[in-house]
Amino acid sequence: MKAACWVMERFGVAPALIGDILEGAARHSIVWSSAQVLGATLRTVSNDLRQHPVLAMRAIVAGWALYFLSARVQPHYSLLNPGMNHLWLAARVLITFRAEVAFGMVTADAMIGFAVSRCHRPYGMAAAFSFVMTLLCLYSWSALDEIPRSLHISPYNPFAPFVVPDVLFLSAVVFVFVPLAVMAGAALGAGRPRSRA
């Protein structure tokens, strides 16, 4: 529960509510505790975003500005795209190369999360969350288009069946590691917000 408390504190969950969850956790299952932690966190984020819509918009704009800036700094960004220009690379080199690019992406996203959260304290986590939601929307939208196209066998993409691991890898990076990295960076940037209730 220590980690859960740490996360809830960063999200600005009311200390009395954290205390109640801790007290209840001693008598209930881990499933109950997890549901309470998730519920309290999401409730706090939604309250913050409802009460500070301008702040949320500013966080989204700032997040995207930093995102495009980081994409400019990382010229290898597009090489993660499955079925694209890295097919000529030998398997071992490719794995190392992809890992490096993924590490670069995740580090850059953590830094974006840190900066967005730092600039929007004491609502840093809610601000970073709003940016992550727009990021996930864009990724989902592009995945709808990109994944079927990558898997489709054509004269331009003759290795389509071999692209499946690439698609899985890319999906894991953009839908799991990137959001987690942004939120982890945001948690570090948010610090321990002052009590709000």
Partner 1 sequence: MSREALGQFELMVLLAVLRTGDDAYGVPIAEELHEATGRDVLLGSVYAALDRLEAKKLLTSTMGDPTPERGGRAKRYFKITPQGLREIRAARRALVKLWDGLPALQKGPA
Shortest spacing between CB 146 and partner 1, in angstroms: 36
Q: How far is the CB of 49 from partner 1 (least distance, A)?
A: 14
**Could you give the 3-state DSSP secondary structure of residue 154?**
strand
Nearer to partner 1, 34 or 142 (CB): 34
Minimum Å distance from CB 126 to partner 1? 14
Is residue 157 classed as helix, strand or coil in its secondary structure?
strand
CB of 5 to partner 1, least distance (A): 6
Is the separation of the CB atoms in 173 and 105 below 8 Å? yes
Residues of this chain that bind partner 1 (CB under 8 A)? 5, 13-24, 26, 32, 35-36, 39-44, 47, 197
C-alpha separations of 123 from 54, 131, 145, 148, 195 in Å: 12, 13, 34, 38, 12
CB 37 within 8 A of CB 4: yes
| Residue placing its CB nearer to partner 1 in the complex, 42 or 144 | 42
* DSSP for residue 192: S
Contact 106, 181 (CB under 8 A): yes
In the bound state with partner 1, the residue whose beta carbon lies nearer, of 115 and 125, is 125
Identify the H or E element spanning 148.
helix 124-151
Structure tokens at 22: 């801790």
Distance CA 47, CA 107 (A): 29
Give whichever of 21 and 110 is closer to partner 1, judged by the CB atom.
Answer: 21
Between 14 and 143, CB nearer to partner 1: 14
Min dist CB 76 to partner 1, Å, is 42
Q: CB 90: neighbour CB atoms within 10 A?
A: 9
State the nearest-atom distance from the C-beta of 190 to partner 1, in Å. Answer: 19
Of the pair 91, 197, the CB lying nearest partner 1 is at 197
